[in-house]
Structure 1
Amino acid sequence: MVLELKNVTKTFGDKRAVSNLNMIVNPGQVMGLIGQNGAGKTTTFRMILDFIKADPGSVITWKGKEITPQIKQKIGFLPEERGLYQKLTVEDQILYFAELHGMNRADAKEKLKLWMDRLEVVGKVTDKVQTLSKGNAQKVQLIATIIHEPEFLILDEPFTGLDPVNTALMMQEINRLKEQGAAIIFSSHNMDGVEKLSDDLTMLKNGKTVLQGGVKEIRDSFGRTQIYLESDDDTSDLLDISGVESVDKRGQGRILRLENEEVGLRVFEYVARDGYVQSFMQAPPTLDEIFRAEVAINE
């Protein structure tokens, strides 16, 4: 294993920001850390990096050892509050961060050119950061995070400010780093991105772990209680089927939410009574729907 957290807790005054968090992130694994604002995600990242001290009794190790300044050189950290110097050129900035992580300047210069092409950054290495668009500045920030090829990556809201095309491009690169063996932990409010990227998931609410495990296993635990349907049947007729709780329009079709997954057979038998149905898919709720439901509990 690379990263292990045991009973990690952080208290500020009378507020407990993180409570008894346990987590393991292995090489070649992506852990999605999700939760509403103030749930404890950024506090967790700062404790891992020793920017703030966890409460006594907390254990945070990297490859079984305490995280020292030398180990931190092997970590790539993309903070939510971006840390680029606006009046420096892209090159000066990236080379500075690369040297901080122990890279040779000439090697970093060569890799910068490759990364500028790979991430399709619009601009030159001699441009000042303040001249870049928000999306391109975000890509440069990612380059600063990964140019030294870290074994462990922490990405705090990596998709902020990116359009769908550039979000997909960044997700592609995160997956590539995972395939090369990096251990990755990231937070995002983009549940679609979390679902596509994550192998495992930890959800915090008011500092407490409310969900943890594989993404598929978490979704399946809620049961296949919804159906995407395209048919000519009236909504009122679908609502009359015993166990159908609601019917809502979704794109070209409708989403039916069910009392339990056994209701799906009754729905299918009804809509396919003439031997044909345009589209029928029974699935668990999406991660976004689970997230919204869990956040709403006891609010």
Structure 2
Amino acid sequence: MEQQLEEIREQQKASWNKFSPGWKKWDALMMDFLKPMGDEIIYLLNPKTSDIVLDIAAGTGEPGLTIASLVTNGKVVITDLSDDMLEIARENALLRGITNIETKACDVCELPFEDNTFDAISCRFGFMFFPDMLLAAKEMVRVLKPGGRIATSVWNGPEKNFWITAAMGTINRNMELPPPPPGSPGMFRCAKDGLIADLFQQAGLKNTKQVEITGKLNSKTADNYWNLMTEVAAPIVAALSKADDAMKAKIKKEVFEAIHQKYPDGNVQIDSSALVIYGEK
């Protein structure tokens, strides 16, 4: 792996390990938020009871744990860059009595599995972080059995995802942050219509399709929203770490104002939109 990609991978691993306590704290809310996308991935994969499934960039364990509850005579290998996130996934499996899983800390660009191992692969919100997305897709195809299915989700554009732009847009308005290099990992890197489907085809997949799935972040209050985003969202935390106290207070005030303007009744359920993409080997 090129040195630059290696550096990105190591930074991401450190970041996810660092933020794992926040993800554990907010797991119930985040999993409720991301469930519609996971449900669509599972629907498209249509796992059979004896399937061997790979869940990539699984974080705290979804949708891999739900898939494991369906493949009662099979198993799910749950992978992530971060050992600390996988520790939470194992705890979640234990709490739910799910035993047909394995966890493996690994990089999607160097999957430690034989060719033609898995019947299906799920990857919910992983592609935007992969340093080399085409290499990642090719690795997935390599370990997928002929006839196997892949489904992934990526975020749609910022105009449909107020749950991230409420905070990040306010930060960008107030702070002169350098724009990331084109194509570098980021929330909306994969939002372009057809981008992942084209990538899948380049990697050798066929019968690709894309659907839009909407959801809501049911944070209930602006306070909950702010605390969640400043404990799980690495780009927001990184940006705020560069701000002095006065600037942080100004940003927080403006975020609360934006939330209250959009949800004047105080019931903060923030819209989201994602694309779910499917392909077959």
Assess same fold via TM > 0.5.
Answer: no
Greater helix proportion: 2
Q: Which has the larger radius of gyration?
A: 1
Greater strand proportion: 1
